[in-house]
Every structure is written in C-alpha cells, then in structure tokens.
Amino acid sequence: MLKRVLRSALRVNFRHAATDAVIVVFSFYFSLYLRASGTASFTEFLKSITTLIPLYLAIRLMTFVSVGIYDIIWRYVSFRDASKLVRGVFLSTAFIVSTTYFFDVGLPRSIFFIDAIVSILLLIGVRSLRRYLYERSQTRHQNMDEARRVLIYGAGYNGRILASRLQSDPTSGYEVIGFIDDDPGKISRKIGGYPVRGNLQDLEEVVSTYKVQEVIVAITSAPNALLRSIYQKTGRFNIRPRLITSFMGGGNSRATGELYRNIELSDLLSREPKSLNLDLTRALVKGKRILITGAGGSIGSELARQVHNFSPAQLVILDHSEFNLYQIDNELRNTQSQTQSVVPVLADIKDRSQLKEAVFTYRPEIVFHAAAYKHVHLVEANPFAAILNNIEGTKNLVDLCLEVDVKHFVQISTDKAVNPVGVMGATKRVCELIVTDAGLRSARHYCSVRFGNVLGSSGSLIPLLQKQIQDGEPITITHKDMTRYFMLIPEAVSLVLTAASFTENGDIAILKMGEPIKIVEIAKSLIALMGKNEDDVSIVYTGLRPGEKMFEELCLTGKERETTHPNIMILGGGDASCWLGSETIARSVDSILNGAKFHKKAAIQELMHLLQLDRNNEAEAHTITNDSAARLVQVDS
C-alpha cells in the first residue's frame, strides 16, 4: 500500500496538483461565504479558515494521491474517474470532521460538508472541461468533408462508447450522425450528444436522408435474424454493415485490436449460443482412451480438437484419407495439451481386419463414429459404395467395439435419416438402427446424435455458392422454396459431446437446429457479403436432384422428449428398434450387404423393406426415389 502511494506521488502532474490546490482553497472560502455571510461570526470564521488552510490543503492533496486521483489523464476523464474523485473528497472530509470532535477549530461542521459538495462539483467540472476542449480540438482537426458518415445501430453502452471513440479519434475518418435503436423510449432523444434517429423500420429512410456511408452494429451477440434484416436493408445502398468486436464487450469476434469487423456468414446464420455443461463432457472424456473415426473430416476433426482439449489419456484418430489424417494429426501435435499420446491410424472402416487391428490394439473406452459418405448426389450415383461404406463400416465398428467391451459409442447421424428419400439418408437410418440395437442388447451407452447441415464442411453448399459468385457464374439452386437447417461446426460438436454425456442405451439425441433457412436467402446473403449486388448475379433454379428433399426433418415419431439442455432432445431407445427386434435388423443388414457387394438390386429392395418396417406403415412409407430405383435396376441388369 505504501509503495503504491509513493509511486503515485512520484507520478503527480504538478500542474494538476496546483489547479486542485487553487480549487480546494477557493472552495473552502466559498463554503464559508455560503454558510456564514451576513452573520456576526463571519469575521471570526474567516480567521479560523485562514489558519487552517495549510493543514486542510495538505490533507486534501495527500488523500487525492493515496486514492490515485493523479493517475487520471484529464482529457480522458470518465465516470469511473469521477467516482474516484468523489471518494477522495469524502475520505478527506471524513478525516477532517472527525478531528473536530477532539480539537476546537472554531468553525461549524456544516462548512466542511458544504465544502465537500462544492469541491466535488469544481474538481469534476474542471476535468470535464479539459476533456471537452480536447475532444473539440481533435474534431476540429478532422476534415469533415472527407469523413465518412457513420450510423450506429444500438444506442446502448457499446454504442455510446463506440460513438465517443470514433468522434474523438482524429484518425478514424468518421463523422457520427446518430443512432438507430429499437427501444421506443430512446427514439428522438439524444444520447451522448448524438440523436437516436429511428428504429429498424426507419433504417432505409435514415440512410437515404443523411447520406450514410457506413453502418456499424453495436449490439453484442446480435440475433442472426436482425443482422440479416440490417444487411438486406443496407445492401440496397451498397453498404456492408459491420459488427463491433469482442474488444468492445462481447460477441463473436477474433482477438484483434479493431473496434469493429466485417459481418461473416456465420453471424447471419448462427444462433444465440447456449451455455454448455463442460463438467459433464470433461468427466466423460478426461483420462479415457478415445477413438474417433473419420477424424480427418469436418466433423471428425473438430471432434478431435475438442476432445483433445479435455485431456484424454490417449486419442486415436482414424481416417482413410492420408492427407486429411496428416493435417489433423499435425495440428493436434502442435497444440499444448495434457493428452499423453495422439495416435494416427490410416485405415478403411470397410476393411474389418484393418479395423480389428486398430480396435484390439488400442482398446478404446469411448468411440465417436464420424466416418461416412455424405454427399447426396455422389451417393445417389454410387449407391452400392455408399451402402458398403456407411452400413458395413458401422456394423464392423459396432461389432468390434462390443467385442472389446467399449462402454460408450456415439454415432454421428443426419437429419436426412428421417423419412429418407435417397440412398444417403437411408444408409444413415440403418446405421442408427444398428447402433440402437447394439445399445439395447448390450445395455451399454451406444447412441446416435442427429443434426442438420453445418457451415464450412468440406464440399458443402456454401463453398460452392461462393465459388460461383466469385467466378461471375449464375448461382444454381434446386428450388426457390428449398430450406435447410444450419449450425456452426464447433457448436454442433460441442452439443454432440454434451448429448453423449447423458444419453442412455440405444438413444438417439436430436440437436435443435433453430429455424430452417431458405437456400435462396443464404445465396442473397453471400452475394451481399462478397460485395456484389443482386442485380449483378443471376439465380438459376435447376430442380430437385435424385435423393434431395425440399425440406429436412429432425424428428421421426413425435415421441422425442426434452432434456435439461434447451438444444437437445432424446428419442429414447431409438423407438423403432424396440419393436423391430435384433434378428430382423441383423437379417436385413446381412441381406443388404451381401447384395451390395455384387451390385444387386436386391440390396436396394431389402434396404427399402427395412425402412418400411422401421416406419411401421408400409402404405405411407417414403421409399427411395423412383429415379434412384430405376437407375439401380439398370445397374443390376
């Protein structure tokens, strides 16, 4: 404490201290005038004050030094600094008043309280004046003819701070013309000297009227629907709105020193993050032997990253792509973690002998199965390869895990497994049945986690649309009304790990994906994000391809129950597997695989039959699309 006070004393700006000394002396005499002018005792009180001034001034200034008032730079004074001044005045006043109970100073105590109030007003006033003059001088140095006119969306704390920073910084090149805010109580008022010119509905009119050139959204964790709406409204004026960074107090941003950043597609499509119980995931993973298949893929690699952070005893990453496996292995080895070893395994899950060697060698306690063929049009064109990879690969892995007594098995599934209309969704639904059946038979935590599309996955829709826009080509979309669910890969994987920590034997966990989004709206957002105009990029509707659905579904039976996590539902025991029975599933799977190995259409027929049994209603069952079936018949013949 003493060292800190001494350091503060050595840093005292003596011009500031001299100014404060003048204020303290003036305030003391002025307080006497307010309290006793016109009274018979005024002259006696004046003599007493004159005698006390040296001691009084010393006590005031020493207290100011001790509370750090002279650490404040006047031209940047803030409300927090003002509160420090108030504390310094009241502490010194309290000390002075307390001494009057032991020594007769010849003054009424009320003078000291009046003086405290006057001192606070004058001390804060002179510092506020210094800040005002500084900011005015800085503003004068800006060339307002060249400054860009900026509108700030959000007149809350971050908006006020941002406006102040932009206006006081001569290098910012901005002229703040006001706020937009959706709080009716703020509209037509002034905040920090800047008018609130309207709400979201008024945005276009304000931009047009005041010739706005920049719009910055100053709302932390702004809802994606709001950001999309702002983007659409400002896009008509060729304005790309920006978003405050976490530097300003939160939000989705990388650690930079910038006040704001460009809005990204993930901002427009992601949802408000929900809190996750990391303790459950940590308890599940820490100190365990973990195997991740498909570890080089989009989901598998993110699983590997997040699992790696929870310090498993051993992390076995398995993939059939040498390059993808090399990338994630190299990344994990360059990351600091308490994980004792990362083991890359180059293997194909269709090759049972390869897979057996890996499983029996490393004997994992938890398996995350993310290996699968997922691209709908490729799977439709190569149905037998998809059946063997997805269904046989899952069967091989599940059987081997049962043999080595793996306690937890989590399969990554897809919304396309619900009422599938294509080979990809059909194979993934059969994988769900295999895993659920294994969990129910073995009384172990074998489950599937089902979710929709993720942003940024390899070969997904978004990179394709971006390339078409960049190359100046028409955007190809199958149908103007087609919708899809979207989620960020890190959020999806975090929810997978959370769901895995509380699922029971044979469960299917379903991740809530928010509201489905029209593909055409995503395309329009990308056009704006890439600095293009909708008039410059044409959209061509090509029609549904084989195996595609107009909209995706996440729920199969309506029997899904809510859980303690707002974004996770559970279909207990996989539901349909409870009545299909192990023998039915095993017989059908063997028949499907035997036919697929020889490219026989019987494999497709058996696949459709199993799905019809799964729905328990052959009359209403959605089968594989006619085009797919017809093509498979031709292949067989």
Q: Report how far apart, in Å, the C-alpha atoms of 209 and of each of 177, 190, 237, 295, 542 are.
A: 11, 18, 12, 54, 41
- Per the listing, tokens 């292949």 go with 635
Residue 588's contacts (CB-CB under 8 Å, 6 or more residues apart) are: 606, 609, 610, 613
Amino acid at 33: Y
CB-CB contact of 287 with 315 (8 Å): no
CA dist 384 and 593 (Å) reads 9
SS3 (DSSP) at 403: helix
Q: What is the DSSP letter of 156?
A: S
Identify whether the C-beta of residue 597 lies closer than 8 Å to the C-beta of residue 388. Answer: yes
- Give the strand pairing for 483-484 and 314-319: unpaired
Which positions ≥6 away from 587 have C-beta within 8 Å? none
Residue 203, amino acid: L
Q: What is the DSSP letter of 538?
A: -
Q: Is 24 helix (H, G, I), strand (E, B) or coil?
A: helix
Catalytic (active site) residue 274: no
Candidates 416, 428, 524, 549; catalytic one: 416
Closest CA to 345 of 326, 378, 373, 319: 319
The total number of residues written for the chain in this structure: 637
How far does Cα 381 stand from its chain's mean position? Answer: 37
Phi, psi of 575 (to 5 degrees): 60, -75
For residue 17, what are the contacts with CB-CB under 8 A and spacing of at least 6? 61, 70
Could you give the residue numbers annotated as active site?
416
